[in-house]
A and B are shown apart, each in its own frame.
Chain A
Amino acid sequence: GDSVTQMEGPVTLSEEACLTINCTYTATGYPSLFWYVQYPGEGLQLLLKATKADDKGSNKGFEATYRKETTSFHLEKGSVQVSDSAVYFCALRGSTGTASKLTFGTGTRLQVTL
């Protein structure tokens, strides 16, 4: 079945440092890929998405490129802020079925310090 593997956290960075959170996936067909963010005490918010190979999703300075050859969708940001501290979830949505479910990774906690 579909699965998502994320790098283990927590990740602790100083403000303005570069961020990469690795995500790889296993899926049949042509899944759509997503990054969700969960701020403390809040629900899940869609951060960015990519629906086909080589698409780049971007939002709020975050980027991720759908790499079919390496089955990866790594999240990157050039300069993190304290306000980026949150848990980040990589997810995929399968291409089969009527209402394809999201399969989530385990989440990576990011802590940004001054």
Chain B
Amino acid sequence: EPEVTQTPSHQVTQMGQEVILRCVPISNHLYFYWYRQILGQKVEFLVSFYNNEISEKSEIFDDQFSVERPDGSNFTLKIRSTKLEDSAMYFCASSEQTYYGYTFGSGTRLTVV
């Protein structure tokens, strides 16, 4: 069964550093998403991406965040200057059509120290 692949599975970074979280969505999917889950809390929407541009973003997705699909297969989330409160599990997801369920990756656990 096709999978969404996320790397790395765990990243530790110092506060103020930039991190890039990488995702390879399912190849024929058109819609891409990032979500995050702070430990023990609900899953929160960050951003959706379609046709090479952001479709929607949440209030969490401020200027320190950016997304990119640099080469037609990867989908990246960049956090420019990490803060302690950015520590969370970050999930990438993709979808073939808007009315389908997503396929989620297994997540990247980001720890900011």
Contacts and interface: CB of A to CB of B under 8 A. Distances in A.
Contacts of A34: 101
Nearest to A30: B99
Interface residues of A, number: 25
Interface in B98-113: 98-99, 101-107
Contacts of A91: 43
A81 to B, nearest CB: 22
A36 B49 CA distance: 21
Interface string A90-107: 010101011111111111
Interface string B78-113: 000000000000010101001101111111000000
Interface stretch (A13-21, A45-53, A61-69, A70-78): A45-53
Contacts of B55: 97-99
Residue of B50, B99, B107 most packed against chain A (CB within 10 A): B99
A22 interface: no
Nearest to B108: A43
B-side interface size class: 20 to 34
B9 to A, nearest CB: 10
B76 interface: no
A104 B33 CA distance: 14
Chain B binding site: helix, strand, loop or mixed by DSSP? strand
A43 B89 CA distance: 9
A103 B56 contact: no
B45 interface: yes
A44 B91 contact: yes
Nearest to B89: A43
A91 B45 CA distance: 12
A32 B33 contact: no
Contacts of A107: 42-43
Interface of B: 31, 33, 35, 41-45, 48-50, 55-56, 91, 93, 95, 98-99, 101-107
